[in-house]
Amino acid sequence: MHPAFSVIFLTTLLGVGQGLFLALFSSQAYSVVDVLPAQSGNFYALGAFIALIFLIGGLVASVFHLGHPERAWRAAAMWRTSWLSREVIALPITMAVIAIYALVNWLGIDADLYGLGIPNQVALSVGAFGVVATIALFVCTAMIYAAIKFLQEWASPLTVVNYFLLGTASGFGFATAYAAIAAPELAQFYGGWAITLTIASLLTRAASLFRNARIKQKSSVQTAIGVRHNKVRQGSMGMMGGSYNTREYFHGRSVAFLKSVKWIFLVLVFPIPLLLLWLGLAQANANLLMLAFGVQYVGLLFERWFFFAQANHPQNLYYQVVG
Amino acid sequence: MTQLALVIDLNVCVGCHACVTSCKQWNTSGEAGPLFDDNPYGKDPTGTFFNRVQTYEVGSFPNTETLHFPKSCLHCEDPPCVPVCPTGASYKRKEDGIVLVDYDKCIGCKYCSWACPYGARELDEKQQVMKKCTLCVDRIYDMSIPEDRRKPACVISCPTSARLFGDVHDPESDVSLAIRESGGYQLMPEWGTKPANHYLPRRKTKLRIHADELVRADNPLSKEDIKHETSKESSLDDWLM
């Protein structure tokens, strides 16, 4: 497939925003049972606001993917069958809940909803909805790709797992840097999870690379045109100027380029951020932690580019030779 | 239920591209607006087409065969492009099984084109909506056209009648008979899309001759094993020569 930068930014920015929100909510939930020190409402509010900015950034990026963004509201119609439609519904819900979560924390709205006598019951209730919406959004985003069964590189549960783990890893990475500045006592908690999630995503992403390297394509030029002969060669694709079919489904780069992108993302997403996170946490250095997030985010752009470029669309079988 | 479809006879197609140009002509002139052409007379021309004719070479020299392969939307009975559309712009008509795009609802997200294994859909670069073969839905029901001309433009224009058009759910229709009796098949059956369009394979008429058919089986001379010495003298037959 041809990697579109709109979708690359959309999926990576959403991942950071969602991961950051999950990090904030988990630390606030832990603080209720005194596992972690509680922070002021402003800490969670500002963090959730930054998460919201990441989500808005993703939304803006997605607009560039559409031919008719002014009709985008129509995209909520077919949620019964289309994962894209489900994402279009899940995204604004997630954004709204995170915005409310930020507002509740900022204004310090609280009430003893459940008669437990513990603080932040309103914020945590809103946040719990946010967790459900966030995870639903992760699943919707990934299933857009995993649901196309003949894009065999994508049609795997690993796609969903990778979107979730890579998104949360980068989100927790950002939370670590944010905490190092605003709430240093939380940096170890976020950083520990950022490292755990990065290692977990390394395992699952490596599993999908391993799977895709050994994939056996079900379609061949024989099934494409229905001729049973071992030697079938295209003589002409029917046009010389190219078309949507030759632009949308080919990444247009060499095998060596593809391979180099794979190694770039493998280095930028996993070992370097892990090293920087470890150093940053050991020295309590916010700059190093921010650098860890920055490097990992850039790596994720490469990762997403590779994710799209690696997918081999069966329609390409019809477009092998110009003439 | 009706399922309109094309049946394309690869045994007859000569690869003349008449279906391509007539399709483009009809569909660029219709109510839905032109099929965009970018830089048509310059360098790197490109544009939107519903139909293409490709050419394949089967086998290796000298045992090769050229196959001309017209390719358009197959109007699948289980179209993977329809359920993925977030707006409902992409739909399959209940009454005749044609898969269509509502250009007023399409947001140009390209998801349906990703979900079509055949690459039958093209985004119109000018209108920024997804386009595809409509089976000339604006022609086949047009009562102002003589009845025998109410067929897709590609079918009418084909000089060798390689393209048949009809209802593949009617077992007695021309297309069903052709599929049944001439080995009609579907493309990429492995994805379960159940394309309505079928292709008829290349067929060769061969006469199989067995060795015993080259010798007269009922030759009384060989049968009774009678062998006469032929006379050196002239016979009546020689006079006739």
Continuous segment of H or E residues that includes residue A16: helix A5-32
Q: Does B85 contact A82 at a Cβ distance shorter than 8 Å?
A: yes
| 3 state DSSP class of A312 | coil
Give the mean model confidence (pLDDT) for residues A11-26: 98
Whole-number Cα distances in Å, A270 to A13, A153, A276, B170, B181: 18, 21, 10, 59, 60
In chain A, the residue whose alpha carbon lies closest to the alpha carbon of B87 is A75
Residue B35, chain A, CB below 8 Å: the answer is no
Residue B200, chain A, CB below 8 Å: the answer is no
Give the mean model confidence (pLDDT) for residues A203-207: 98
Q: Which of B38, B56, B131 to mutate to test the interface with A (most CBs of A within 10 A)?
A: B56
Q: Does B117 contact A313 at a Cβ distance shorter than 8 Å?
A: yes
Mind listing the pLDDT tens digit for each residue in A232-290? 999 999 999 899 999 999 999 999 999 999 999 999 999 999 999 999 999 999 999 99
- Burial label for A77, CB within 10 Å (0-12, 13-18, 19+), is middle
DSSP state of B231: P
Determine the Cα–Cα distance for residues A47 and A179; give it in Å rounded to an integer.
9
Of A17-21, B194-198, B226-230, least confident by mean pLDDT is B226-230
Determine the Cα–Cα distance for residues B135 and B175; give it in Å rounded to an integer.
15
Q: Does B56 contact A238 at a Cβ distance shorter than 8 Å?
A: no
Q: Does B107 contact A241 at a Cβ distance shorter than 8 Å?
A: no
Q: What is the pLDDT of residue B211?
A: 79
In chain A, the residue whose alpha carbon lies closest to the alpha carbon of B124 is A244
* Cβ(B209)–Cβ(A236) below 8 Å: no
Q: What is the pLDDT of residue B24?
A: 96
Rounded to two decimals, the pTM is 0.91
Determine the Cα–Cα distance for residues B149 and B140; give it in Å rounded to an integer.
8
Nearest CA to A225 out of B240, B68, B106, B87 is that of B68
- The average confidence (pLDDT) of chain A is 96
Mind listing the pLDDT tens digit for each residue in B13-32? 999 999 999 999 999 998 88
A62-65 CB contacts, 8 Å cutoff, 24+ apart: A62/A6, A62/A7, A62/A10, A63/A6, A64/A5, A64/A6, A65/A4, A65/A6, A65/A7, A65/A10, A65/B109, A65/B110
Query: Residue B240 pLDDT > 70, yes or no?
Result: no
Q: Does B188 contact A235 at a Cβ distance shorter than 8 Å?
A: no
Q: How far is B185 from chain A (nearest CA, A)?
A: 7
DSSP state of B228: P
Give the mean model confidence (pLDDT) for residues B31-57: 92
Mind listing the pLDDT tens digit for each residue in A31-72? 988 889 989 999 999 999 999 999 999 999 999 999 999 999
* SS3 of chain B: helix, strand, coil, percent, to 5: 20, 20, 60
Whole-number Cα distances in Å, A166 to A188, A220, A266: 19, 33, 12
The conformational region for residue A288 under phi > 0 = left, psi -120 to 50 = alpha, else beta, is: alpha
Q: Which residues of B touch A67 (CB under 8 A)?
A: 106-110, 123, 127-129
Q: How far is A57 from chain B (nearest CA, A)?
A: 18
Contacts of A66 (CB under 8 A, 6+ apart): A72, B107, B108, B109
Query: Residue B236 pLDDT > 70, yes or no?
Result: no
Q: Does A68 contact B108 at a Cβ distance shorter than 8 Å?
A: yes
Residue B76 main-chain phi, psi, to 5 deg: -55, 145
* Cβ(A209)–Cβ(B37) below 8 Å: no
Query: Residue B224 pLDDT > 80, yes or no?
Result: no
Q: Which residues of A touch B45 (CB under 8 A)?
A: 241
Q: Which residue has the tokens 């995870």?
A: A135
In chain A, the residue whose alpha carbon lies closest to the alpha carbon of B20 is A238
Measured in whole angstroms, the distance separating CA A165 from the mean position of its chain's CA atoms is 8
Give the mean model confidence (pLDDT) for residues B60-75: 95
The conformational region for residue A91 under phi > 0 = left, psi -120 to 50 = alpha, else beta, is: alpha
Q: What is the pLDDT of residue A118?
A: 85
Instruction: Choose among B52, B85, B187: nearest Cβ to A238.
Output: B52
* Cβ(A310)–Cβ(A250) below 8 Å: no
Q: What is the pLDDT of residue A117?
A: 83
